[in-house]
Amino acid sequence: MSTDHLLRRVARRETHSSKAVPAVVTAVLVILACAYAGTEVVLAMLGMRPLLAAPGDMGAALVAVSTVAAAWLIVGGVVVALIGVLLVVVALRASRRPRRTLHSDRTVVVVDDRVIASALARRAADAAGVDPDATLVTVGRRTAEVRLTPTSGLPVDREAVVTAVDDEIARSDARPPLRSRTTIERTGKVGA
């Protein structure tokens, strides 16, 4: 296995969450249902009392489903369909953790999105000449949104803030790449 392939595999493992928990829960539920059905069949073959219902009684209940009110059948069908849709969504969703990889020639560098947000907030605050507490940065899947509240009475050079944020994003060379969206509030706050 090449080093590049190994590093990509480690990066993927660190930036995506495992789907083992939902798979194990589903498998355990299916195993329990099969074990119950098998137990009922064995008990019926031995002529012993069933735990809940004999296999013949379960078959008769399935045949008698047509006599149940249509509303109950619809509700049951909707519940089963929702469980199926939920399982499909869990299987197909991206399951990306809020982490990114940074460029490195020798190793894998994985950084939490909060660290990137903190660095962007610091650079935006420095470029705007405001307190870092007046800057809020949220990092999404593809976008870093910077919201800056200026000090009351002091203008903020929007282009300098955008340039500083974009420069910080370019310097980090994070994967997947980020685009910035900068918003400067119209009303300022009193103090530094």
> How confident is the prediction along the chain (192 residues), in pLDDT tens digits per residue?
677 777 777 777 777 778 888 889 999 999 999 999 999 999 989 999 998 888 888 888 878 877 878 888 889 899 999 999 998 888 887 777 888 887 777 788 888 889 999 999 999 999 988 888 889 999 988 899 999 988 887 888 889 999 999 999 888 888 888 899 998 888 777 765
**Helix pair 20-45, 70-92: axis angle to 10 deg:** 140
Q: Which residues of 1-36 are buried (b: 16+ CB within 10 A; e: fewer)?
A: eeeeeeeeeebeeebeeeeeeeeeeeeeeeeeeeee
The pTM is what? 0.64
Structural domains in the chain plus CATH codes: 17-92 (no CATH), 99-184 (3.30.70)
